[in-house]
Amino acid sequence: MIKNPVRSTIADVARHAGVSKATVSRFLNHRETLLSPEIALRVEVAIDELRYTPSPMAQALKRGRSRLIGLVVADITNPYSVAVLRGAEQACREAGYLLMLFNLGNEIERESAGIHALSSYRVEGFILNTMGHDAGALLETARQGKPIVLVDRQHHGLDVDFVSLDNHQAIFLGAQHLLDEGYKEILLVSEPLGGVSSRVERVSAFKTFVGEKGDVVHGQCVESQPDEQGALIDALQAARARAHARSTTPAILSNNAVVTLRVIAAIAQLGWRLGKDIGLIGIDDTEWAPYVGPGISTISQPTDQLGRLAAECLMQRIAGSDLPARKALLPGLLRVRGSSQQ
């Protein structure tokens, strides 16, 4: 077995060159003018022979800056999280920052652990897309002067910058498209609300839409549990039975890409055809959406722009901006494919 070589330290360089650690530090910080040419050469040779490389983290902390930003996401398997991460990482890289990611895996109890773990690396601020059930950890972080930007999910009691899809606009856009296509039996399928602000807002917007539009004969909200397709299948069959009684076809408005996949699996299990036996439009436009069945109609979120905007807001706060907390709601874009066209 080949052992990894032991990393040389600044003390090793000092011993090898026969100088003090302070002398090596002066050399590394480009203050050779404080050293004689002969001593500077000895330090340079020692560094080369020991293949010493200074720790970027240690150097950053000496300067009082880590140039690190912490990103906490609820679920990295959600395409939305990955897309937002891309936009945020690009903006951070362009500004000379590194992004550190902590994935909660939808485990509520890990929120505090994730924030504390990233804090231990001296991150300069946080971009958070969390479940929002550990207000204590968030408030503690804010009290410590660490800037926070929330993405997609708001947290009560936390007055910070917030970047999100305009959920009301997105739901109205998708539901109106289904109505225009002749669907009058519409189901909104969501993940369990669980107090998650974006899910609550979308359900509330859908209920408002149904209340305002007399053409919707029946509008219903269904919560879909992971690994429990039975209840979803029952809801789909009931919707189709109601629609058939009126010689119409039902349609589904899916709350996000995770739910869209569950709905597609349930429809396949029932042997129904998208756009024929049932209509479907989902929030989040994924890479696979155009290739499933006749193509899945979607409301596309400006995820790259959301991630980039969140990072830019955070870096402004790190730089000292003391503007009142800002809220940026970006519109969704309708992408019509075969699944929603009768």
- Mean pLDDT along residues 251-261: 95
Q: What is the CATH number of the domain that holds 278?
A: 3.40.50.2300
Residue-wise pLDDT for 112-125, tens only, equals 777 788 777 788 88
* In-domain check, residue 5: no
* In-domain check, residue 59: no
Residues 287 and 180 in one domain: yes
* In-domain check, residue 309: yes
Residues 322 and 248 in one domain: no
Instruction: Dump strand ranges (E) for the chain.
Output: 68-73, 98-103, 126-129, 148-151, 161-165, 185-190, 218-223, 250-254, 279-283, 297-300, 327-330, 333-335
- 134 neighbors 300 (Cβ within 8 angstroms): no
Helices 111-119 and 135-143 pack at an angle, to 10 degrees, of 20
Residues 20 and 129 in one domain: no
Residues 289 and 178 in one domain: yes
- 74 neighbors 42 (Cβ within 8 angstroms): no
Q: Which of 49-53, 160-164, 313-317 is the least confident region?
A: 49-53
Residues 132 and 281 in one domain: no
169, amino acid identity:
Q
Domains in the chain, number: 3
* In-domain check, residue 206: yes
Kindly tell me if the per-residue pLDDT of 29 is higher than 80: no
Residue-wise pLDDT for 49-100, tens only, equals 888 876 655 555 555 567 888 888 888 888 888 888 889 999 988 888 888 8
Residues 171 and 213 in one domain: yes
% of residues, the chain, pLDDT over 90? 46
Which residues 6+ apart lie within 8 Å of 169 measured at CB? 329, 331, 332
153 or 252, higher pLDDT: 252
Please state whether beta strands 185-190 and 148-151 pair in parallel, antiparallel, or not at all (unpaired): unpaired
Residues 177 and 287 in one domain: yes
* In-domain check, residue 220: yes
Residues 282 and 295 in one domain: yes
Q: Which pLDDT belongs to residue 1? A: 37
* In-domain check, residue 233: yes
Residues 248 and 276 in one domain: yes
Q: Which domain holds residue 24?
A: 10-54
Residues 202 and 258 in one domain: yes
Name residue, tokens 């007055």: 159
Q: How confident is the model at residue 47 (pLDDT cuts 50, 70, 90)?
A: confident
Report the C-alpha gap between 77 and 179 in whole angstroms: 31
Residues 295 and 171 in one domain: yes
Q: Which of 26-35, 195-204, 295-304 is the least confident region?
A: 26-35
* In-domain check, residue 310: yes
Residues 257 and 179 in one domain: yes
CB half-sphere exposure, 217, CA atoms < 13 A: 16
| pTM exceeds 0.85 | no
* In-domain check, residue 234: yes
| Mean of all residue pLDDT scores within the chain | 86
Q: Which pLDDT belongs to residue 306? A: 94
